[in-house]
Amino acid sequence: MPSPEEVRARFPSLAAGFAFLDNAGGAQVPGTVADAVRRYMEETYVQVGGRYPQSLRATDTVERAREFTAMLMGGQGGVVALGPSTSVLLRHLGDAIGLTLRPGDELVVAESNHEANIGPWVRLERLGAKVVWWQPDPDTGLLRAEDLDGLLTDRTRVVALPHASNIPGEEEDLAGAAARAHAAGALVVADGVAYAPHRRMRVADSGADFYAFSCYKVFGPHLAALWGRREAMEGLAGPNHFFLPKEPVSHRWELGGVDHEACAGWLEVAGHLAFLAGREVCDAAALDAAYKEIRRLEAEPMALLLDFLKARPGVSIVGPRSLGPGRLPTVSFVSRRVANRDLVDAAARAGLGIKHGHFYAYRLMESLGLEPNEGVTRVSLAHYNTAAEVSRLCEALDPLLG
Ligand SMILES: Cc1ncc(COP(=O)(O)O)c(C=O)c1O
């Protein structure tokens, strides 16, 4: 089991003591990832599809990046496409599904989604589709799968939800939602962005028909992935140019190709996960061990933070107040007495990176009764954060929160 210090030593950006506690916005990368991007650009920076050695290497890099992503997602039997961001990939998915809709078709959309899994569906209203809002609990921001029973009809074509929201930081009942959606004949589109850095994805068994996450939140470069059940992906047009071959199916979705150097860097995340697992190779067993380790490393700093916040008068935590099987280390809160801006400024003066606002979960802020631009203060931890950093944060906030 690596110590937190050994883990941190792999991340050059953290070497000078930068206490980065805004990881749900995007994680730091191991040095091996940054080195691979540079090496790729110096040695292999050509287009794919050629027959010369550099181009063969480029093609191989992108193909291996897709294969690694499929393994990381537990996506056996499905199709993985890479892209610049989850927002872009879900927009393409929404547009492709939109081409199959008829006026009056319904789309059930969780209000607790990041806008990346809302905008693509609201946009389809111009084609005559109807968005049906799935409201979260107004106190916790969490969804109840049972609430779908009153929302699904024989016109429902899509149910769009987060596997975990980037605000309350709790795993949602994706399987329960999917069972209900499928019984009504609807497709399930899950946003795994806030889940993937903390828990092992098993998308093929999750109940989702489509599942997206962002590699740059999982210690990699700015890349994202969309997985889909093969029949579901094959049945859609995808945004890529009309004259390109329709097979492999992933190519239909990778409009204009993917960022090759990011693929090279992303492949090194496999090595980091193998390191966490204490293995040579990143296979399914190593992923189990790596995510167990991630969870172990995250638990103590998260418990410290929750205990500190629970004991502060006038502070409300949005989401679960204590550790549990589904609790992720994304901790959002508001104080009745202190403005979010004052809290993040105090943290910044102490050299700690946290933020406040709506974090693009704009509609969730409204359902929680919060002014979206004020939003919440969010502290989001990754496995390389330490209890010492959280203690520093608590010391910085204590004079304000009392
Ligand atoms: C829960 C969640 N979903 C989707 C996104 C959008 O991801 P991307 O930046 O890759 O478009 C984010 C980004 O913060 C997020 O936190």
Query: What are the structural domains, with CATH classification, of the chain?
Result: 4-28+291-396 (3.90.1150.10), 34-269 (3.40.640.10)
Q: What is the CB neighbour count within 10 angstroms for residue 187? A: 23
What is the residue with the minimal CA distance to atom 9 of ligand 1? 85
Q: Which helix (H) or strand (E) holds 263?
A: helix 260-277
Q: What is the CB neighbour count within 10 angstroms for residue 174? A: 23
Report the relative pairing of strands 210-214 and 352-353 from DSSP bridges: unpaired
Residue whose structure tokens are 């579901």: 232
Q: 230 is written with which tokens?
A: 């093969």
116 CA distance to ligand 1 middle (Å) = 6
Q: What per-residue confidence (pLDDT) applies to 288?
A: 98
Q: What per-residue confidence (pLDDT) applies to 275?
A: 98
Give, rounded to a whole angstrom, the gap between the first and last alpha carbons of the chain: 37
Strand ranges in 163-253 using DSSP code E only, listed in sequence order: 187-191, 210-214, 224-229
Q: What per-residue confidence (pLDDT) applies to 402?
A: 85
189 CA distance to ligand 1 middle (Å) = 14
CB 201 within 8 A of CB 239: no
Helix axes 387-401, 340-349, angle to 10 degrees: 130
Compute φ and ψ for 130, nearest 5 degrees: -120, 125
25 CA distance to ligand 1 middle (Å) = 8
Split the chain (402 residues) into runs of 10 and give each run's mean pLDDT: 91 92 98 98 97 98 98 97 98 98 97 98 97 96 98 98 98 98 98 98 98 98 98 95 92 96 98 97 97 97 98 97 96 98 97 97 97 97 97 98 91
Closest ligand 1 atom to residue 90 Cα is: 11
112 CA distance to ligand 1 middle (Å) = 13
Report the relative pairing of strands 78-83 and 315-318 from DSSP bridges: unpaired
360 CA distance to ligand 1 middle (Å) = 8
Pocket of ligand 1 (CB under 6 A): 24, 85-87, 114, 116, 162, 166, 191, 193-194, 214, 224, 360
214 CA distance to ligand 1 middle (Å) = 7
Q: Which of 203, 195, 207 is nearest to 171 (CA)?
A: 195
CA dist list (Å): 286 to 136, 156, 272, 294, 300: 35, 39, 11, 12, 23
Q: What per-residue confidence (pLDDT) applies to 2?
A: 87
Q: What per-residue confidence (pLDDT) applies to 246?
A: 87
Q: Choose one of 23, 69, 82, 87 to mutate for the ligand 1 pocket test, by most ligand atoms within 8 angstroms of C-beta.
A: 87
Q: What predicted TM-score, i.e. pTM, was given to this entire model?
A: 0.98
Q: Choose one of 85, 114, 171 to mutate for the ligand 1 pocket test, by most ligand atoms within 8 angstroms of C-beta.
A: 114
Compute φ and ψ for 106, nearest 5 degrees: -115, 145
What is the residue with the minimal CA distance to atom 14 of ligand 1? 25
Strand ranges in 327-395 using DSSP code E only, listed in sequence order: 330-335, 352-353, 355-357, 376-380
Q: 61 is written with which tokens?
A: 């890099």
String of b and e for 256-282 (b: at least 16 CB within 10 Å)? eebbbbbbbbbbbbbbbbbbbbeeeeb
In 44-185, alpha helices (H): 53-73, 86-98, 119-122, 174-183
CB 215 within 8 A of CB 69: yes
Q: What is the CB neighbour count within 10 angstroms for residue 236? A: 20
User: In angstroms, rounded to a whole number, what is the distance separating the alpha carbons of residues 283 and 36?
Assistant: 20
Q: What is the CB neighbour count within 10 angstroms for residue 3? A: 10
Q: What per-residue confidence (pLDDT) applies to 29?
A: 98
Residues 6+ away with beta carbon under 8 Å from 345: none
CB 95 within 8 A of CB 71: no
CA dihedral 41, 45, 48, 54 (to 10 degrees): -110
- DSSP annotation of 267: H
Residue whose structure tokens are 């945004």: 239
Q: Choose one of 113, 163, 166 to mutate for the ligand 1 pocket test, by most ligand atoms within 8 angstroms of C-beta.
A: 166
Closest ligand 1 atom to residue 25 Cα is: 14
280 CA distance to ligand 1 middle (Å) = 31
354 CA distance to ligand 1 middle (Å) = 17
24 CA distance to ligand 1 middle (Å) = 9
Q: Which of 233, 224, 226 is nearest to 211 (CA)?
A: 226
